[in-house]
Structure 1
Amino acid sequence: MSLFNDTFTSLHGALDYSAAKNRAVSSNIANADTPGYKAEGVAFKDILAEKTSFQTKITRAGHIDFNADADPSFTTYKKHATSYHPNGNNVDIDKEMNELAKNQIQYQALVERMNGKFQSLQSVLKGGG
């Protein structure tokens, strides 16, 4: 028997995704004026797998094995296809600020939902009182 049900697992995964997205967007904002910087994004691995059909080869110890089935179920990637600035940078600061605001709202909602689940569990453990 598991103490935590699938809701806790789903919320945990969503919080991890939101945190990774926050790191990517924050990095993009911080590098908005860096020449040649390419914006980062976060995608679920199954969606990314549908879009890409290539095999990676690990030639050094520091390389990431993208072919491995490992958690988390999302991955961070670089957006190489575009360039908004003459210096090769492709960060759209207005879009990134919008993404940051949306992600912060989503993260807060997930935290509040997780707190509600823990409060319900705490109430049960105290005998409903």
Structure 2
Amino acid sequence: MNLIDKALGMHERALAVRSNRMEVLSRNIANADTPAYKAQDIDFRQVLKETESTAMQTTHANHIGQGEDASPGGLKYRVPFNVAFDGNTVELSVEQAKFGQSAADYQTTLSILESRIGGIRKALRGD
């Protein structure tokens, strides 16, 4: 783990997971009328837990890099409250609510990350 990773903590990975989840939810919304489409979602906590448990640490500058994955996994099919007659499992109101919550979570994580970066800038400038 390099100095920047230590300074930013898990927020950088959390932002990537939240971004990926918003893409998945937007695909669900776009396919609300597609016959037999199965709604998907990402379990944020599980993905971060897997990321933390499998993360390798670089202890020497000559070690091979980790090759971080910008597209975290954890994709699962959602079990709907009501299945449409055509087999589609997307419930538009549920997807829109989850997308709104995910967007708010993304913005919160981004604000925390910006705050950390601002703190690093102040420390470097000596403010």
Same structural fold, with TM-score higher than 0.5 when normalized by the shorter chain? yes
Q: Distance in 1 between matches of 2:114 and 2:49?
A: 30
SS of aligned partner of 2:116:
helix
Q: How far off is 1:78 after superposition?
A: 2.7
Partner of 2:119: 120
Which amino acid is 2:33 matched to? D
SS of aligned partner of 1:4:
helix
Percent identity, aligned pairs only, is 24
Q: How far off is 1:45 after superposition?
A: 4.8
1:30 is aligned to 2:33 = no
Superposition TM-score, scaled by structure 2 size: 0.71
Name structure 1 gaps, 5 residues minimum: 49-69
1:21 is aligned to 2:11 = no
Q: How far off is 1:4 after superposition?
A: 2.3
Partner of 1:110: 109
Cα distance change of structure 1 residues 119 and 94 upon mapping to structure 2, 3 Å threshold:
same
Which amino acid is 1:117 matched to? R
Tell me if structure 1 keeps the 8 A contact 2:38–2:89: yes
Partner of 2:11: 11
SS of aligned partner of 2:9:
helix
Q: Distance in 2 between matches of 1:25 and 1:37?
A: 13
Q: Distance in 2 between matches of 1:8 and 1:45?
A: 18
Stretches of 4+ aligned residues off by more than 3 angstroms: 45-48, 70-74
Aligned-residue Cα RMSD (Å) equals 2.6
Q: Distance in 2 between matches of 1:111 and 1:46?
A: 16
Which amino acid is 2:30 matched to? A
Give the count of matched residue pairs: 106
Which amino acid is 1:18 matched to? R
1:42-85: CA deviations, max 9, x gaps? 1225889xxxxxxxxxxxxxxxxxxxxx8566421233x55611
Superposition TM-score, scaled by structure 1 size: 0.70
Partner of 1:78: 77
Name structure 2 gaps, 5 residues minimum: 51-67
Q: Distance in 1 between matches of 2:86 and 2:109?
A: 38
- Structure that is richer in helix per residue: 2
1:101 is aligned to 2:100 = yes
